[in-house]
């Protein structure tokens, strides 16, 4: 087994903490991929999210699980299985009942957005670092296109315009890191969010989004079990 990393991200609106996210990243060894786990709490909407993803050596999803609970009641539980040319989704969603999907994809799915920030940051790996300053559309699948990730909860197409903006040194409560900066645009009429990630695994450091007046920062990071 490789490295074991755990940490916490705080969700902020101004000086107010509106939520938090605990996460673990477990490396399975050379070329064996890793497991990414996250538990998120959003106080402002009464939501908790439990996510586990298996990623290959290139950070692409192989399978994933997501459970969303809102105001103490389960909203949806889904399992995603990623194969070459297809994603399968099986689950139960309170609003719609049992869900069983077979969604065609082009080759191996590169990005699956289930709304923990440590998972959303993987869009940086799909975008890469070429053509600095140029927005390029990253196509993938998500379980919700709502800002809080609390609607739908089945597999649906997503397209994010992403620009690589360069390398910076970034200080967050967890420390100072060498970072890559990206701009993310979910809608042509929205202001882009700013994302900073660290290292080859695109570890989440910070995201700011003026559109909703929110910021998210890595506040704790530990290596070891």
- 162 conformational bin, left if phi > 0, alpha if psi -120 to 50, beta if neither: beta
- Hey, which residues does 223 pair with through a beta bridge? 5
Tens-digit pLDDT profile for residues 1-56: 678 999 999 999 988 999 999 999 999 987 889 999 999 999 999 999 999 999 99
Tell me, what's the pLDDT at 180?
Answer: 99
Taking 50 as the pLDDT cut, the residues of the chain under it are none
> Which residues are within 8 A (CB) of 187 and not within 5 positions of it... i.e. 6 or more apart?
none
Predicted pLDDT of residue 168: 97
Residues 6+ apart with CB under 8 A from 145: 151, 152, 156, 158, 186
- CA atoms 49, 114, 197, 23: torsion sign: positive
What pLDDT is stored for residue 20 in this prediction?
A: 99
What residue ranges do the domains of the chain occupy? 4-223
pLDDT given at position 101? 98
- What is the third-level CATH fold of 4-223? YmcC-like fold (2.40.360)
Q: How far apart are the first and last CA of the chain?
A: 11
Residue 26: predicted pLDDT: 96
**pLDDT score at 1:** 64
């Amino acid at each position: 087994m490789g490295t074991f990393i755990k940490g916490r991200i705080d969700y902020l609106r101004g000086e107010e903490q509106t939520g938090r996210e605990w996460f673990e990243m477990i490396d399975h060894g050379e070329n064996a991929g890793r497991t990414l786990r996250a538990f998120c709490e959003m106080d402002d909407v009464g939501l908790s999210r439990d996510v586990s993803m298996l990623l290959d050596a290139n950070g692409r999803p192989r399978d994933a699980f997501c459970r969303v609970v809102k105001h103490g009641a389960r909203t949806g539980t889904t399992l995603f299985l990623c194969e070459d040319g297809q994603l399968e989704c099986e689950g139960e969603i309170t609003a719609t009942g049992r869900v069983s999907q077979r969604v065609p994809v082009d080759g191996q799915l590169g990005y699956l957005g289930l709304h923990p920030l440590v998972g959303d940051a993987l869009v940086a790996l799909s975008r890469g670092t070429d053509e600095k300053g140029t927005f390029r559309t990253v196509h993938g699948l998500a379980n919700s296109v709502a800002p809080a990730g609390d609607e739908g909860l089945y597999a649906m197409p997503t397209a994010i315009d992403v620009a690589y903006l360069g390398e910076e040194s970034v200080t967050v409560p967890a420390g100072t890191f060498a970072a890559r900066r990206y701009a993310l645009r979910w809608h042509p009429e929205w202001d882009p969010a700013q994302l900073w990630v660290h290292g080859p695994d695109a570890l989440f450091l910070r995201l700011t989004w003026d559109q909703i007046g929110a910021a998210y920062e890595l506040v704790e990071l530990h290596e070891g079990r």
